[in-house]
């Protein structure tokens, strides 16, 4: 630091730099989200126009219109809230069937009102340009094209990430040495100095001097002199594999079954080998890093492994993409059972489950955290950002294909049902029943939209008051 420089100014500059990088990450993710939405809608739009459907609107976002311009018969625009988008295709809902009951009920009145609003867009000149008059296979392509565009983006982004940056693989190098022993789920785990706070054997805060209440004991790793940066080469003379993940599994397995038994670790430090003796202690630990409920009493020394990015070859990409799809489907299927925990984390102060659902605001904050993370290089930040965009597009693809109206998958299911119904009628020698009347599903659509809106609001509040943070 030069003459006259003030440490306070330096700290303020660092803080300002961190804030600017956080904002940059959030803004870039918002732009990536808007691009993904626009590309999704472009899939619907391009095929609808190709099959001769009239599309009067192409909008990215919801709410008040910020910008719009009409070209030909279509108005293109951007709206204030970048959390979705839509194109308006004329004739999405067919006219009422001739044999439809005319008896007035609240539900029939509601369906008739929705049908009337949809048919108001149909002009005399539209004739066969309306959606419901097109063949079933054209309607399937139009509605599937939007999610398919998200799949294309997901594959492109994941391929770039996997081949240029790679997946993190656990190594046998120590990234952190715990100063003390804390049981899994300890209430003091996130405290500034958890080793100075008395706890019970179960990890609850208590008053020092009370029964079963004491300061956490020093970790065996700290006592043995292990340091961050040490690479474990052997245990009791037996070499440890240096293959990513495999080697750390060997280290972890040896420690977990050796509570109370001394282990001689051969480590490499600063280019030299040395031997350190460590005696694992019994402790309640997480048995599965992806399952916070799965714990057990095992041998524990208090070290964490370092990660290393390992790029994949193009030949390995399809297999990795398959695993990503399976994992994404599992995460979507788990959302209903994880909602109660999300509610407790939002309103009752419970710790947020990092494997639970995260909203757009939450992912944007993670993007901001990544860009502000000082220990990441510029390349690592870009790689993580690309992986966020890839994951978001994969979720958009899978979510929109759910066979629930008003999602794209609901329209696809309706067209397929119409084809199946027509085929059965033809085989039975009966007349074609005609277009599937999707207006009858409008009550279901409103109920589903209400559930999605409720979940979105819950995620918004959770991402603000109790966010999942990077790291």
- List, by residue number, the catalytic residues: 41
C-alpha–C-alpha distance, residues 452 and 459, integer Å: 10
- The SS3 call for residue 289 is coil
| CB contact burial 73-84 (16+ within 10 A = b; e otherwise) | ebbbbebeebbb
Query: How many other C-beta atoms are found inside a 10 Å radius of the C-beta of residue 452?
Result: 14
Residue 285 structure tokens: 């630990």
C-alpha–C-alpha distance, residues 92 and 301, integer Å: 63
Nearest to 144 by CA among 68, 30, 51, 33: 51
Torsion, Cα of 423, 424, 425, 427 (10° steps) = 90
Q: How far is CA 374 from CA 8, 17, 378, in A?
A: 19, 10, 10
Q: How far is CA 268 from the centre of its chain?
A: 38
Residue with tokens 């966020």: 388
C-alpha–C-alpha distance, residues 158 and 317, integer Å: 8
Residue 415 structure tokens: 């067209």
Q: What is the DSSP string of 355-403?
A: TS---HHHHHHHHHHHHH-TTS-HHHHHHHHHHHHHHHHHHHHHHHTSS
Helix (H) or strand (E) holding 277: strand 272-278
Q: CB neighbours of 448 closer than 8 A, spacing ≥ 6?
A: 404, 405, 406, 407
Nearest to 167 by CA among 231, 242, 245: 245
Burial of 70 (0-12, 13-18, 19+ CB in 10 A): exposed
β-pair type (231-235, 263-269): antiparallel
- The SS3 call for residue 281 is strand
Nearest to 342 by CA among 189, 465, 471: 465
C-alpha–C-alpha distance, residues 61 and 82, integer Å: 4
Residue with tokens 């696809």: 412
Q: Does residue 39 contact residue 150 with C-beta atoms inside 8 Å?
A: yes
Rounded (10°) angle between helices 317-347 and 136-160: 90
């Amino acid at each position: 630091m030069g003459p006259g420089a003030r440490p306070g100014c330096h700290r303020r500059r660092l803080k300002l730099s961190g804030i600017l990088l956080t904002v940059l990450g959030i803004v870039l993710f918002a732009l990536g989200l808007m691009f993904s939405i626009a590309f999704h809608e472009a899939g619907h739009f391009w095929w609808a126009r190709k099959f001769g459907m009239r599309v009067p609107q192409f909008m990215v976002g919801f709410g008040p219109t910020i910008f719009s311009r009409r070209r030909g018969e279509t108005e293109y625009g951007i709206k204030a809230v970048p959390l979705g988008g839509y194109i308006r295709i004329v004739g999405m809902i067919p006219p009422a069937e001739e044999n439809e009951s005319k008896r007035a009920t609240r539900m029939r009145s509601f369906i008739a009102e929705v049908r009337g609003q949809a048919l108001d867009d149909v002009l005399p000149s539209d004739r066969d340009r309306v959606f419901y008059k097109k063949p079933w296979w054209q309607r399937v392509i139009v509605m599937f094209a939007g999610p398919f565009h998200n799949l294309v983006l997901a594959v492109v982004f994941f391929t770039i990430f996997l081949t240029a940056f790679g997946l993190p693989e656990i190594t046998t190098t120590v990234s952190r040495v715990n100063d003390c022993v804390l049981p899994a789920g300890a209430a003091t785990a996130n405290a500034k100095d958890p080793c100075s706070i008395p706890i019970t054997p179960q990890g609850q805060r208590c008053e020092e001097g009370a029964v079963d209440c004491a300061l956490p004991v020093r970790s065996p790793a700290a006592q043995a002199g292990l340091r961050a940066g040490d690479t474990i080469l052997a245990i009791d003379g037996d070499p440890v594999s240096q293959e990513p993940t495999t080697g750390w599994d060997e280290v972890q397995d040896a420690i977990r079954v050796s509570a109370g038994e001394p282990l001689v670790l051969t480590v490499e430090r600063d280019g030299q080998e040395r031997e350190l003796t460590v005696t694992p202690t019994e402790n309640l630990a997480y048995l599965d890093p992806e399952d916070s409920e799965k714990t057990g009493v095992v041998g524990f020394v208090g070290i964490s492994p370092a990660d290393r990015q390992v790029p994949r070859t193009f030949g390995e990409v399809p297999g990795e993409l398959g695993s990503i799809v399976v994992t994404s489907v599992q995460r979507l299927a788990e959302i209903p059972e994880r909602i109660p925990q999300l509610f407790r984390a939002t309103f009752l102060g419970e710790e947020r489950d990092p494997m639970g659902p995260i909203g757009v605001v939450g992912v944007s904050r993670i993007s901001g955290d990544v860009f502000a993370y000082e220990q990441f290089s510029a390349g690592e930040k870009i790689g993580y950002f690309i992986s966020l965009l890839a994951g978001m597009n994969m979720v958009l693809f899978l979510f929109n294909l759910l066979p629930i109206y008003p999602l794209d998958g609901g329209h696809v299911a309706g067209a397929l049902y119409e084809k199946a119904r027509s085929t059965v009628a033809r085989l039975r020698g009966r007349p074609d029943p005609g277009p599937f009347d999707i207006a009858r599903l409008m009550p279901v659509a409103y109920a589903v939209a209400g559930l999605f809106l409720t979940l979105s609001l819950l995620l918004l509040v959770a991402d603000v008051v109790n966010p999942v943070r990077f790291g």
